[in-house]
């Protein structure tokens, strides 16, 4: 046989040193065994504690594969299991977020106790103001009255030609303008694209969001738009340097910063957090409210009549005058019941925690979840919960234990800021729109939830149209 026809017939193993090969095989084997034991230990957490749980998890997604791939939303998923656990008579049940065991609490009394104790902390965002009640107190009636005065001077220019323009753009700009006005500044055109990008990022769901939720060290979760940071710092410094005091919300935060032990960047980040949440919650709540009004013409007619009477009796909008609009208040409350801006309450155990009345001890770091959608659609709490019925808040408001079964912004004290501001914002939007327009449907399709968003958010294009009633 010639050299050209010769084939090297050495064994594959001849190319490796025997010791190195054995080390590689041993290392690989132990790695596989370690991963197997880790998964087995993680996914037997509830079985060992005799806690009822969701279906068998799938590594590495746990029980939220459909959520991660945006086939459903996290709040709809939890709503489904809320109903499932409740039908079986469980007060709580377990599910896995990736490899992290989490408890979904069904019983409202148990959840209320968990939330009021100090062994569990709110997860999802940083609390820039430890003394939350102090911040809530900044949103005084005087501050809100001053905001209404500024609103009255700009409202006529914000919703012009709503029937001829893109509704989502007009209403987004509306809330941008009114929110910044409440704080005492105007968002610059230069900062607008960056803020819109941040709004989209903050509401976006998906793999990265939930991975960051479960393993926060992997991602930076708080980031301020540089243009906004510079703007707010300039306002702080200008007012301090020139000894200027204004009657707006940002002045209250300046006073809080001057009087307390707060870092300037933390105060600015806290302000921006409130601004962003207000825009997100107000926009989504208003769109859902308009959709329900378009779908329920009798309710819309009654509301328009109340607003017409209000406009005849009041030249400007004030807090005292707004309290006269009882039907509007009921419509907004019912909207927030059906479409709660904070649809899921997420807590994390900061130490070992034993659930009341059980022998189940949850280790530090365990997530405790509560489905607000489940509570708001529970027929034991609200009759015919799928129907939009504002009258339920007029018939017997004292029959509803608001602390347990009406929680559109969760149960945290800090959420009162969002509650006060968003409710006021939505009411102003409804009054402004229904004073000039009626709302109708442009198709028979229902308003859908956007699976790509974390909060309860409408999927676009929106199935509503506006028709001027002044022409």
Ordered per-residue pLDDT tens for the chain, 471 residues: 455 555 555 555 555 566 666 677 777 676 767 676 767 788 999 988 888 999 999 988 999 999 999 999 999 999 999 999 999 999 999 999 999 999 999 988 787 777 666 666 665 556 666 555 566 677 778 888 888 888 888 887 778 778 777 888 888 888 888 888 888 888 776 677 777 877 888 888 888 889 888 887 776 655 556 777 888 888 888 888 888 888 888 888 888 888 777 888 888 888 888 888 888 999 999 999 999 999 999 999 999 999 999 999 988 888 889 999 999 999 999 999 999 999 998 888 888 877 766 667 788 888 889 999 999 999 999 999 999 999 999 876 544 556 678 889 887 665 666 677 889 989 999 999 999 999 998 876 778 899 999 999 998 877 888 998 875
Q: Helices 167-183 and 264-295: crossing angle, nearest 10°?
A: 140
CA distances from 87 to 84, 368, 376 (A): 5, 20, 16
User: Side by side, which strands form the sheet with 120-122?
Assistant: 92-97, 100-105, 367-371, 344-349, 120-122
**Interatomic CA distance for residues 128 and 135, integer angstroms:** 10
Q: Is the peptide bond before 60 cis (omega within 30 degrees of 0)?
A: yes
Neighbours of 405 (CB within 10 A): 16
pLDDT reported for residue 123: 56
pLDDT reported for residue 74: 95
Exposed, middle or buried, 436 (CB in 10 Å: 0-12/13-18/19+)? middle
Which residue spans within 325-377 are E strands per DSSP?
A: 344-349, 353-354, 361-362, 367-371
Contact 354, 131 (CB under 8 A): no
Tell me the three state secondary structure of residue 467: strand
pLDDT reported for residue 198: 78
pLDDT reported for residue 298: 97
pLDDT reported for residue 366: 87
Fold of 58-468: Cytochrome p450 (1.10.630)
**Interatomic CA distance for residues 368 and 345, integer angstroms:** 8
Identify the CA nearest to 69 among candidates 197, 208, 218: 208
pLDDT reported for residue 4: 52
CA distances from 111 to 211, 218, 317, 404 (A): 25, 29, 38, 9
Q: Which long-range contacts (CB under 8 A, 24 or more apart) does 53-58 make?
A: 53/93, 53/94, 53/95, 54/81, 54/93, 54/94, 54/95, 54/96, 57/95, 57/96
**Interatomic CA distance for residues 415 and 139, integer angstroms:** 12
pLDDT reported for residue 5: 53
Tell me the three state secondary structure of residue 308: helix
SS (H, E, C) 44-61: CHHHHCCCCECCCCECCC
**Interatomic CA distance for residues 322 and 329, integer angstroms:** 9
Tell me the three state secondary structure of residue 2: coil
**Interatomic CA distance for residues 417 and 278, integer angstroms:** 9
Neighbours of 294 (CB within 10 A): 21
């Amino acid at each position: 046989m010639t050299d050209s026809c010769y084939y090297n017939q050495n064994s594959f193993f001849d190319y490796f040193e025997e010791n190195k090969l054995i080390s590689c095989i041993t290392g690989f084997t132990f790695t596989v065994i370690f991963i197997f034991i880790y998964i087995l230990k993680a996914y037997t957490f509830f079985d060992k504690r005799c806690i009822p749980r969701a279906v068998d998890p799938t590594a590495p997604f746990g029980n939220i594969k459909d959520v991660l791939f945006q086939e459903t939303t996290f709040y709809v998923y939890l709503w489904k299991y809320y109903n499932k656990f409740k039908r079986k008579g469980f007060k709580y049940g377990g599910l896995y977020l990736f490899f992290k065991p989490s408890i979904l609490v069904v019983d409202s009394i148990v959840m209320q106790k968990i939330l009021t104790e100090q062994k569990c902390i709110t997860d999802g965002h940083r609390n820039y103001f430890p003394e939350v009640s102090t911040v809530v107190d900044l949103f005084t009636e005087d501050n809100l009255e001053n905001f209404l005065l500024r609103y009255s001077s700009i409202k006529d220019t914000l919703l012009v030609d709503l029937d001829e323009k893109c509704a989502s753009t007009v209403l987004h700009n509306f809330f941008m303008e009114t929110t910044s006005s409440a704080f005492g500044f105007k968002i610059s055109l230069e900062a607008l694209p960056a803020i819109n990008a941040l709004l989209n990022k903050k509401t976006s769901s998906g793999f990265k969001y939930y991975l960051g939720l479960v393993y926060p060290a992997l991602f930076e979760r708080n980031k301020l738009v540089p243009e906004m940071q510079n703007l707010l710092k300039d306002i702080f410094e200008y007012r301090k340097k020139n000894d200027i005091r204004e009657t707006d919300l940002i002045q209250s935060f300046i006073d809080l910063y001057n009087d307390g032990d707060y870092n300037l960047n933390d105060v600015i980040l806290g302000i921006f957090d409130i601004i962003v949440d207000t825009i997100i919650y107000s926009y989504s709540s208003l769109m859902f409210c308009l959709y329900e009004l378009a779908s329920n013409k009798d309710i819309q007619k009654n509301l328009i009549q109340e607003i017409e009477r209000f406009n005849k009796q009041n030249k400007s909008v004030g807090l005292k005058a707004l309290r006269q609009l009882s039907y509007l208040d009921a419509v907004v409350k019912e909207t927030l019941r059906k479409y709660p801006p904070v649809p899921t309450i997420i807590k994390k155990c900061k130490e070992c925690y034993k659930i009341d009345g059980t022998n189940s001890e949850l280790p530090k770091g365990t997530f405790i979840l509560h489905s607000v959608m489940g509570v708001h659609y529970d027929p034991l709490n609200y009759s015919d919960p799928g129907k939009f019925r504002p009258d339920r808040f007029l018939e017997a408001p004292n029959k509803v234990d608001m602390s347990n079964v009406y929680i559109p912004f969760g149960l945290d004290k800090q959420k009162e800021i969002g509650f006060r501001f968003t409710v006021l914002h939505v009411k102003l939007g409804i009054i402004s729109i229904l004073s000039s327009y009626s709302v109708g449907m442009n198709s028979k399709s229902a308003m859908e939830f956007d699976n790509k968003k974390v909060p309860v958010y409408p999927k676009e294009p929106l199935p509503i149209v506006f028709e001027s009633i002044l022409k």
